[in-house]
Structure 1
Amino acid sequence: MQENNRKYDILTIGRSSIDLYSNDIGSPFVDITSFGAFVGGSPLNIAVGCKRLGLNTGFLTAVGNDQVGKFILNFLNKEGINTSSIPTITTARSSAVILGIEPPDRFPLVYYRDNCADIQVNLEHIRQADISQYRSVMFSGTAFSKDPSRTAMFYAIEEAKKQGAVTALDIDFRADQWFDPLAFGVTIRAALPYMDFVLGTEEEILAAFMTDPKQLEIKHQQISAPEIRGNIDSAIQEILRKGVKTLIVKRGAEGASIFRPGEEEVKVPGFPVEVINVLGAGDSFAAGFMYGFLQGWDLYKAVRMANATGAIMVTKHGCANFMATLEEAIAFADSKGGL
């Protein structure tokens, strides 16, 4: 791990959006009467989570020359996140997501990402972000889905490794953002050998090694929670064989597992809570883990922190707007047995 002699602790790269969450919790999507306006996108959520926990954080995305882009930037600037490298793309639009909330297990969503600005992040934007200022860089799977962002992500990986930054990948599988679901695996597998940490659910890990689109099934338009058939043990070992130093498998209420080459699985218990909304929980998990790791904690304690921040998020209405502060996360963990 890099010593804390760089200007920033972490840079996250990728999606940003305005998120319209149903205010009618429990109602079917067709019966929704109003929405709450928040910000979202997995890398944006992680950036906010990291900043609220106390990390000096930068975020690289792109926004359109529109009111939605101004909405996103206004929120990020108020949070104190470094947005100095975020470009405005005049030929594209900031993206939007509409989400239903039907706990405990239905969370349908609709993406509006045609000609979206964040997928226009290019090589020059990576150069302007100056990765040498960062101790760590968090990548997100959807940013690899189309060019020019795809090539920019591989360039950012090169720069991160050259600068000695810690690299982490949130698998972030969104099937409808790829021209073919198998293309996701082909692309992600090319990035895996350069990652110090990989974080994903069992379904996302299986998606990285799908060989037949029929293995994938999306019910109730839950794009973020597909059902994927496959051998999870084999997929986990394949990731480790790619050279990944640490794989963290998110297992929801059960907590998470740590896998490292040549070592036994380490299970880290979660924190039981009543679920309102699972969307964003994985992003909050990632923020909690990166905070713990960058503090120099051992992996077990860092993942335990991740479980705590993830558990807090599932009790909330939205994503980034409700990310926990360090004080909230520690108090929550202490109330349930501690880290």
Structure 2
Amino acid sequence: MAEVVCLGILVADVVGKPVERLPERGKLLLVDRMELHTGGCAANTGMGLAKIGVDTAVIGKVGDDGFGDFMVSRLQRSGANADGVVRDPEMATSATMVMVHADGERSFLHYIGANASLCEADVDMDLVCASRLLHVAGFFLMPSFDGQPAANVLKQAKGAGVITALDTAWDSKGRWMTLLEPALPHVDYFLPSIEEARMVTGRQEPRDIAGVLMDHGVSVVGLKMGEEGCYIRSGDTELRIPPFEVECQDAVGAGDAFVAGFLTGVVRGWDLERTGRFANAVGALCVTELGATTGVRSLEETEAFIRTARVRA
């Protein structure tokens, strides 16, 4: 059975680069590259884990359409188990138009699609409870699963002895802690971006953010801080780990790649410093290629990168 189960949003990404502005109404602009990639937090993290070499399964929902076929086939090709992906003939697969700017930053147009109907009943708990770690990916973008349903699944997983992790997306509706709070007591590793964590907690500094989250029951907080690397805090450890220097081609999926690296460290039993450094490396390699998982490398290749890469001062 899978070591890690990634449960969450699955999205087909149509990626164009470079895009500095939208064309005027009725007009056309050319881009240098246009590609179709897998996207969505669960797909990105699950495929990243599989490429690193971790036995991984993905649970989510897609439509019975071309994008859905693409998502399932690419998950399987990466080595991830896609048996937990539900096909919904009543919904279209979620998709995002990703506009990559010249500096690698992105803007998005998103269709939520089948992710909107993913619910507690869609989750294969036999698959979850047979794993070592359950990761809920894309909280705030699953309206039928966010909140108490997610809390129920996390609680059941923990009751079966499964390690739990959770990552958030941006909540455009501003519900933040109100929606997330029921799940936090059942989360061992919470891995949001610093921007999302600030919105959830109402705090600005990483140490204060982690304190609020730990007061709500989280055991370990790992904050993705972009060009500042990451911040990690547990009951007896506090770390700031600087990033590696790379040339950024496309930042799509960098946060999900970081999570894949972090979860690798968790299931391998590494200490938090090694885990955070490895997560930074996976995220750094991710941005050197176009697409959310193209740049992710095997465990051995990533460790070789760590030995030779420059760390940002």
Q: Structure 2 length as normaliser, TM-score?
A: 0.90
| Counterpart residue identity of residue 25, structure 1 | P
Shift in CA distance, 255/73, structure 1 to aligned 2, threshold 3 Å: same
Matched ranges for 1:152-191 at <5 A:
152-172=149-169, 174-176=170-172, 180-181=173-174, 183-191=175-183
Matched ranges for 1:38-117 at <5 A:
38-104=37-103, 106-113=105-112, 116-117=113-114
Matched ranges for 1:134-153 at <5 A:
134-142=131-139, 145-148=142-145, 150-153=147-150
Q: Is the 8 A contact 1:9 1:135 kept in 2?
A: yes
In 1, distance between residues paired with 2:12 and 2:141?
20
- The answer for the alignment partner of 2:238 in structure 1 is 265
- The answer for the alignment partner of 1:218 in structure 2 is none
State whether structure 2 residue 286 is matched by structure 1 residue 286: no
Give the C-alpha shift of residue 255 in structure 1. Answer: 1.6
Give the C-alpha shift of residue 318 in structure 1. Answer: 0.9
Q: Is the 8 A contact 1:68 1:94 kept in 2?
A: yes
State whether structure 2 residue 21 is matched by structure 1 residue 28: yes
| Counterpart residue identity of residue 15, structure 2 | Y
- The answer for the alignment partner of 1:315 in structure 2 is 288
In 1, distance between residues paired with 2:282 and 2:158?
28
Indicate the larger mover: 136-145 or 197-206.
136-145
| Counterpart residue identity of residue 293, structure 2 | A
Q: Which residue of the other structure, out of 194, 217, 227, is the alignment partner of 1:253?
A: 227
State whether structure 2 residue 10 is matched by structure 1 residue 16: yes
Structure 2 unmatched ranges of 5 or more: 24-28
Q: Which residue of the other structure, out of 273, 277, 302, is the alignment partner of 1:300?
A: 273
Structure 1 unmatched ranges of 5 or more: 1-6, 211-228
In 1, distance between residues paired with 2:83 and 2:123?
12
In 1, distance between residues paired with 2:167 and 2:242?
20
| Counterpart residue identity of residue 303, structure 2 | I
Q: Summarize deviations over 1:174-229 as a string: whole Å, max 9, x none.
A: 233xxx31x1321112211111111122211111134xxxxxxxxxxxxxxxxxx8
State whether structure 2 residue 201 is matched by structure 1 residue 209: yes
RMSD: 2.2
SS at match of 1:100: strand
Q: Is the 8 A contact 2:9 2:115 kept in 1?
A: yes
Give the C-alpha shift of residue 249 in structure 1. Answer: 1.4
Give the C-alpha shift of residue 167 in structure 1. Answer: 0.5
Q: Structure 1 length as normaliser, TM-score?
A: 0.83
Q: Which residue of the other structure, out of 120, 125, 133, is the alignment partner of 2:122?
A: 125
Q: Indicate the percent of aligned positions where both proteins have the same amino acid.
A: 25
State whether structure 2 residue 235 is matched by structure 1 residue 241: no
- The answer for the alignment partner of 1:335 in structure 2 is 308
| Counterpart residue identity of residue 94, structure 1 | T
Shift in CA distance, 72/264, structure 1 to aligned 2, threshold 3 Å: closer
| Counterpart residue identity of residue 126, structure 1 | V
In 2, distance between residues paired with 1:123 and 1:260?
29
- The answer for the alignment partner of 2:36 in structure 1 is 37
| Counterpart residue identity of residue 248, structure 2 | V
Q: Is the 8 A contact 1:29 1:108 kept in 2?
A: no
In 1, distance between residues paired with 2:217 and 2:76?
37
In 2, distance between residues paired with 1:129 and 1:150?
21
Shift in CA distance, 292/231, structure 1 to aligned 2, threshold 3 Å: closer
Q: Is the 8 A contact 1:131 1:163 kept in 2?
A: no
Indicate the larger mover: 285-294 or 135-144.
135-144
Give the C-alpha shift of residue 129 in structure 1. Answer: 5.0
In 1, distance between residues paired with 2:125 and 2:205?
41
Q: Summarize deviations over 1:152-184 as a string: whole Å, max 9, x none.
A: 422321221111111111122x233xxx31x13
Give the C-alpha shift of residue 290 in structure 1. Answer: 0.8
SS at match of 1:322: coil
Q: Is the 8 A contact 1:120 1:147 kept in 2?
A: yes
Indicate the larger mover: 136-145 or 198-207.
136-145
Shift in CA distance, 322/106, structure 1 to aligned 2, threshold 3 Å: closer
SS at match of 1:8: coil
Q: Which residue of the other structure, out of 233, 238, 247, is the alignment partner of 1:274?
A: 247
Runs of 4+ in 1 over 6 A off after TM superposition: none
Indicate the larger mover: 245-254 or 147-156.
147-156
Q: Is the 8 A contact 1:161 1:167 kept in 2?
A: yes
Give the C-alpha shift of residue 148 in structure 1. Answer: 4.7
Matched ranges for 1:215-234 at <5 A:
230=204, 232-234=206-208
Q: Is the 8 A contact 2:14 2:97 kept in 1?
A: yes
